[in-house]
Structure 1
Amino acid sequence: MTALRIGTRASLLATTQTGLVADLIRERLGREVEIVEITTEGDVSRAPLATMGGTGVFVNALREALLVDEVDVVVHSLKDLPTGPAAGIALAAVPPREDPRDVVVARDGLTLGELPAGSRVGTGSPRRVAQLEALGLGLEIAGIRGNVDTRIGKVASGDYDAVVLARAGLARLGRVDEATEVLDPLQVLPAPGQGALAVECRESDPDLVTALGALDDAHTRAAVTAERAVLATLEAGCSAPLGALAEVVEAEDGEELWIRAVALSTDGALSVRRSASGPVADAVALGIRLASAMLDDGAAELMSAPVRKQQA
């Protein structure tokens, strides 16, 4: 049997994540794999993601390689996926999720609350910018792009006092000990789908779709489905200040899906926060219900409002 060709971005984090999926394929499917590196628009351009259209910049080239049969499977960070369906492509598996929370890597082992007012904190995410501003710590929030090494290096060099990153990426790279604080979702909610991976293949290969289903984690799939339903209903992308986190919890009558979300003005001054719970099997309906309540509270107008003050 020929090896499965797995497409991935070429960054260290992307190839590490793809390697984890490759190991699962070898273990559960008994197939050998060949990893194929593909360059995406997001890898080439150094512009802020929001100015590049945000959603899809790390995804489209991988999907194109899949559709023209250059690869058989592609692996993405699930938070990068557009919420709409992609013609001819199946989301075949969502493996078990890493810890989805954000972390701080700061100088001198400091936490956000210990940084002096005016400290320079790096993030390229409007979601993080708005939630950090909402904490009212008097920090200077500055844009930053690049891989994990680049971002942490900006702290080591003194260009920044701290950076905010996804804990999942540090964990997968074996660098989680470098985090000086894990941010409580009560303060900073992660991006929808953060910490999860997406394994896609062609819809026209139903045998492979079925086989890759062995990699799927039902609890992770339900959680990210609800989060992405919130994202889709609010018509938000990665340039919107929106956070959402769902998890499967034990309730009196068995398992239940619980989700919370926040939409903010770009400066963090105003926010709409909601939570909801429901059956695990109704993940889409739960996300839509939560987002609809947020729309009733003015979430869409909030996220699209002009910036109230200059962000560095």
Structure 2
Amino acid sequence: MRVLVLGAGALGGYFGGRLAEAGGDVTFLVRPGRAAALARDGLVIESPFGDAKLAVKTIQAAELRRGWDIILLSNKAYDLDDAIAAIRPGVDDRTVILPVLNGLSHIDILAREFGAERVLGGLCKIQATLTPAGVVKQLNDWRWLTFGERDGTMSPRVQALEAAFSKAVGVEAKAVPNIDQRMWEKLVHLGTSAVGTVLMRANVGEIVRAGGSPMLLTLLERNAAIAAHHGHPMPDAFMAEYRALFGDAASAYATSMLRDVEAGNRIEGEHILGFLAEAAHRAGIDTAIHDMAALQARSYEQRRAANRLP
């Protein structure tokens, strides 16, 4: 199984690197600067499950040809158009695309561009970052990669991908028959934490200690109602898990969106906060908090574009 990973950042670098470490046939499609750094330093992973320094295969856009079984997309949602252009020369009839982007709207876009039969549903649950030194740093023990066919079949290709990851250290990869449900579950918890942490500019524990747990729990219930309106009610066990998280005063959980805001980077505001605000409007659910979060994200992007961030 030949796997092409778009980029070698926090997510692609971690999951692609762990698969390569386990003997998988993995190549990273990267820009010239990252290619040079990987050739010089290797792909460096720092993780609670063991550090690694790997010699990895890379390719640049002008060299890309067809012949890939899996293309893993782990880019930011706002880079989707560029990602589609980058991988298009490598897609043929044997190729299946596995996106683990945040949000949901990218699935329909990829299906329109490449055909629904070539697009899996996918998500990951991990906290990782790419340091200024180019190190892929895993921040806690979250390590889950979940994927599946949109029609619910356990096809040979998703079973083969699960088997390939079975030897990887620090990864729990699983093919599932209900990937759409799983993606909605991620959006519910990510949407809750992203709205809360971006509005408050604080991690979950800090918000809870400031008296904000009721706000987070209200968000959780409203996001669950949005998902239910779209045919994906949240399981009781899921709700219990995240009620506990959003009431935990000791939690250090913060979203990548908050880290991007604090670093002055672009954010996935429209793809998560804007999407949820619009979905809440369509579902007839109180949108006040969602609208405020989406406005906050848009205002942040305006300040960033005007070069007025601290």
- TM band (smaller chain): 0.3 to 0.5
With normalisation by structure 1, the TM-score equals: 0.38
With normalisation by structure 2, the TM-score equals: 0.38
Higher relative contact order (CA 8 A, sep 6+): 1
- Could you say which structure has the higher helix fraction? 2
